[in-house]
Amino acid sequence: MTSRKTDSGLLRGLGFSLMLLLPAAALPSPVLAQDADEALEDCAAEAASRFEDAGADKTNDVVWPETAIPACETAVELNPDSVEAKAWLGNAYFQNDQFVEAEPYLQEAADEGNVLALALYGNMLLGGRDIDENPTEGLRMLRRALRSDFPPAMLYMGRAYDYGYGVTQDYAQAVRWYQQAADAGLSRGYATLAIMYHDGYGVDQDYEKAFDLYMQASELDDAWGHYGVGQLYEWGNGVEEDKAKAAEFYQKGADHNDPYSQNALGYFYDNGIGVEQDVDKAFELFSGAAHRYSLATANLGFMYEKGRGTEQDYEMAAELYQEAADAGESMAQTNLGNLYIDGLGVPQDYELAVYYSQLGADAGDGYAMNNLGHLYEHGFGVEVDYDKARELYQAAADMGIELGQQNLDELDAFLAGGEQTQPGDEPQTEPGDEPQTEPADQPETPTDVVETPEEPSEETTPPELPQPPAGGREISPNKINN
């Protein structure tokens, strides 16, 4: 925004002489005042909600943190007493998942009754936002914001019921609040309501209804809307399957730095689905989503393990698998177990191989079942147990894992008195062949950047995995609302 010039008028006579005698610090600074006003306007344009007067001219709910944060930092610096500037800076940080940075600004603005701050800070206090939780206070703030019929507060009240933050979990009540947010025109209201219809939470599952709602969110340039439309096109749910269209919508979501969209599009590029195969592009997309979405972190580990789009690096693969495994990602648990079997990037450790393979198998990963079967068959890290091995091979084979069927046949031949497989032989194991994506109706565990645990030694007890969020489902690890 260009600076505005004002006519200060002519200075005459005694007044001019007296002004010359004033110390410089006492002189008025009209240019600085204009800069302060313009900074506030720029901040409002970037981070005000369109349900506030200052954002009434906006056509969507998108906040771009890379421009909103510096604009609002300047606004707060030049307008230190502005409650609105603090609320908008808090919003800019919030949209970038910088909840710790957002807290002091939102708390101060909320204390002054700013409706945007009440909604955002109330939502943060519910839980899952890297600050001290206080669901009771969070609900109190949301109810204050709801007195102004503020749509984001409707969305966050839905979140409270969706996950049981400070209230008894109630999907039907969550749907009611999400519906109100959507009826008010909030893009994320459309997207979250679509998720409920997509998954069948609080309503009968209805892919066509989900598609319509996702599309309404997408038309308002909402990242979750783009991702949801892409998911339905990818899997042919509620709409004719179209991988190219799925890729198109994933790209729109990726342009918003949405980790789900980046991961899905990375999978497409890695496998040439709906787009021309480009492993370098896949590596770039997985890198952008890693540490914010556990499956993307696991997929990036796979790229390092196999040297796809980058130099092969087993140690980096192990670190990424460890991070994703600690977040509960079964693919990472399976592949980390396989690295422990072979001693690639980590010391060979069959007990840890059993531990992580068991986690993957418990989560329903067929490759983990095959690998765990071999560990039981050959007595690596466990006592030899042919019945257990056979059971695991059969389960893997039933899931279409060819190596599981092969190992089952070989074990059956051995047990029938055929060619003997000696315990202690190197097991034939197989990690997930390709980076994986998952449909939106699968449980999704949010992740933040976490410290990778130290490499376990022989004396180290395997770490406990974190418990899943209330309800076993999370909407997205990225943003809860724009």
Asked whether residue 172 is domain-assigned, the answer is yes
- Note the Cα 278 to chain centre separation in Å: 24
CATH of residue 79's domain is: 1.25.40.10
User: For residue range 233-260, what is the model confidence (pLDDT) as tens digits?
Assistant: 999 999 999 999 999 999 999 999 999 9
CA distances from 283 to 266, 311, 317, 364, 449 (A): 7, 11, 13, 26, 18
Asked whether residue 274 is domain-assigned, the answer is no
As a whole number, mean pLDDT of residues 377-396 equals 97
Per-residue DSSP letter, 55: G
User: For residue range 279-314, what is the model confidence (pLDDT) as tens digits?
Assistant: 999 999 999 999 999 999 999 999 999 999 999 999
Among the listed residues 171, 136, 138, 170, the one whose alpha carbon sits nearest the alpha carbon of residue 156: 138
Asked whether residue 431 is domain-assigned, the answer is no
Asked whether residue 297 is domain-assigned, the answer is no
Which range scores top for mean pLDDT: 152-156, 441-445, 454-458? Answer: 152-156
User: Half-sphere exposure of residue 361, counting CA atoms within 13 Å on the CB side?
Assistant: 26
Asked whether residue 286 is domain-assigned, the answer is no
Asked whether residue 91 is domain-assigned, the answer is yes
Which residues does 456 contact at the CB level (< 8 Å), separation at least 6? 349, 352, 462
As a whole number, mean pLDDT of residues 104-123 equals 98
Q: Distance between CA atoms of 396 and 369, rounded to whole angstroms?
A: 6
- Note the Cα 56 to chain centre separation in Å: 29
Asked whether residue 105 is domain-assigned, the answer is yes
417 falls in which pLDDT band (50, 70, 90)? confident
Asked if residue 12 has pLDDT above 70, the reply is no
- Residue identified by tokens 């399957």 is 241
Asked whether residue 72 is domain-assigned, the answer is yes
Give the chain's mean pLDDT. 84
User: Total domain count for the chain?
Assistant: 1
pLDDT at 6: 30
User: Half-sphere exposure of residue 281, counting CA atoms within 13 Å on the CB side?
Assistant: 17
Asked if residue 433 has pLDDT above 80, the reply is no
As a whole number, mean pLDDT of residues 126-146 equals 96
Q: Print the domain residue range for 36.
A: 28-185
